Amino acid sequence: MDFIQIAYLSIAALLVLIALRVPIGIALIAVSFCGIWGSTSAGAAWGMVRAVPYNFVANWEFSAVPMFLLMGYIASNAGLTTAMFTTMRLLLNRVPGGLACATVGASSMFAAASGSSIATSAAMARIAIPEMNKAKYDLSLSTGCVASAGTLGSMIPPSIAMVIFGVFTNTSIGALFIAGIIPGLLSAMMFILMIVIRVKLKPDLAPRDARTAIWTPELRSSLLEIWPLPTLVFAVLGGIFLGLMTPTEAGAVGAAFATLITIMRKQFSLSLMRDAVRDAAMGTCTIFIIATGASMFTAYMGLSGLPANVADLFLTTVESPIGIILIIAVVCLIGGMFLDSIGLMLLTLPFFLPVLEGAGINLLWFGIIMVKLLEIGLITPPVGLNCYVIQSALGRSVPLSTVFRGAGWFVATDMVTLGLLVAFPVLSLWLPAWMV
């Protein structure tokens, strides 16, 4: 058999392993090793095992991943999200579905301090859902809202998904961060608009708050409490936008600044830091195992020549860049139903990149579209990871079908947002053009 035939067999084996629930990082490593062995020799396969993982993980830009995760876990464990949700709830109490809208607003701000969709969903589930249950909100609306608002952690910078995409595609991570600001805010506003319209049409989904006053002593007090989170976000993103820090440096500054805030607020403790470091280390290890497997798979696919064949097939049958984007979107939407977001991105990028480069598609624009597709995959059944996070955070007291049913409205809204991002690239590219 030639290289191409072995590559096709390897992909079939990979899909079987994924279907058998083998962790995707392990599956990628195993298939890449066996594929190199079958195509060349055992010595070459062992050489790849020795060289590729080290060279990949030693990439300096990857140090941003544990730093942003650490920043988010410190902020979450210190309770910075609670004050933000309280403020949003008081500001939006007269809006139809005010608590759900407040959840989206607070998730947007926390997403800018965590970089992780799962961390955002888990943090907001413990705060927002009990409040919505107390107000007699429809359970599918409250759980679907938190699961979907959590996906904003992938789009609103700093984003772990963007760091990994930038490293794999050699795209500026700082530019990706800035490019995600408008699409992230647009996604949040579309969620809020959908909630307001739904509750207007069906008021029993979310009973109105009896309070009518907005400027109250409680609101004034909460406004004094929320300063740490916006300050942290502006320090990190402002430093990147103005060219004062690289994303890697911004991650370290953000983690240090989050620690300083806990000290200033007299919330610092060794147990808080221990838990934050442990959670960040576990998240980093999970991501790095998948990324290492993907780097080996990319090296093997490059050796086989299969991605070049796929690119030629794409470019000869689909001439329009929009057509290519739509085909990729269908692949990612289907794949997102069965794979976790990072795994899906790293599994498909070796095939997408030659096509994108051959069609002359801007990788910065495509990166934002890819992240939006990954966001949708986080809340689509049967493996919508954020929905499982919500069910787990509630002690499995809510049927998973209820969470998915509520998230369905947000998936439809995200599809509209995705259409806007594809139709109007300026939404993604305008801000990066102003970076220093």
pTM: predicted TM-score of the whole model, two decimal places: 0.86
Contact 32, 299 (CB under 8 A): yes
The confidence score (pLDDT) of residue 198 equals 92
The confidence score (pLDDT) of residue 212 equals 54
Contact 420, 197 (CB under 8 A): no
The confidence score (pLDDT) of residue 216 equals 64
Round to whole Å and give the CA distance between 196 and 279: 35
Residue 426 burial by Cβ neighbours in a 10 Å radius (0-12, 13-18, 19+) = exposed
Round to whole Å and give the CA distance between 313 and 275: 49
Contact 419, 158 (CB under 8 A): no
- Extract the tokens encoding 152: 């904003």
Round to whole Å and give the CA distance between 388 and 341: 14
Contact 418, 373 (CB under 8 A): yes
Give the Å distances, CA to CA, from 203 to 94, 141, 146, 194, 261: 13, 12, 19, 13, 40
How many other CB atoms sit within 10 Å of the CB of residue 357?
12
Contact 35, 10 (CB under 8 A): yes
- Could you state, in chain order, the average pLDDT of each consecutive group of 10 residues for the chain (436 residues)? 76 82 83 84 81 75 82 78 77 83 86 75 81 87 89 85 87 90 93 93 81 62 73 82 82 86 82 86 82 81 76 76 87 81 83 86 92 89 80 77 89 94 92 79
Which of 295, 293, 298, 300 has its CA nearest to residue 37? 300
Round to whole Å and give the CA distance between 362 and 433: 13
- Extract the tokens encoding 25: 């990082």
Which pairs count as long-range contacts for 310-314, CB under 8 Å and 24+ apart, including other chains? Answer: 310/351, 310/354, 310/355, 311/351, 311/354, 311/355, 311/357, 311/358, 314/355, 314/358, 314/359
Round to whole Å and give the CA distance between 387 and 208: 26
Round to whole Å and give the CA distance between 107 and 112: 9
Residue 264 burial by Cβ neighbours in a 10 Å radius (0-12, 13-18, 19+) = exposed
Looking at residue 209, the DSSP 8-state letter turns out to be P
Contact 411, 190 (CB under 8 A): no
Residue 386 burial by Cβ neighbours in a 10 Å radius (0-12, 13-18, 19+) = buried
Contact 189, 433 (CB under 8 A): no
Round to whole Å and give the CA distance between 43 and 258: 47
Contact 111, 156 (CB under 8 A): yes
- Extract the tokens encoding 203: 């008021």
The confidence score (pLDDT) of residue 314 equals 73
Residue 201 neighbours by CB under 8 Å, 6+ apart: none
Contact 352, 328 (CB under 8 A): yes
Give me the phi and psi of 292, to 5 degrees please. Answer: -65, -45
Round to whole Å and give the CA distance between 308 and 200: 52
Round to whole Å and give the CA distance between 67 and 307: 33
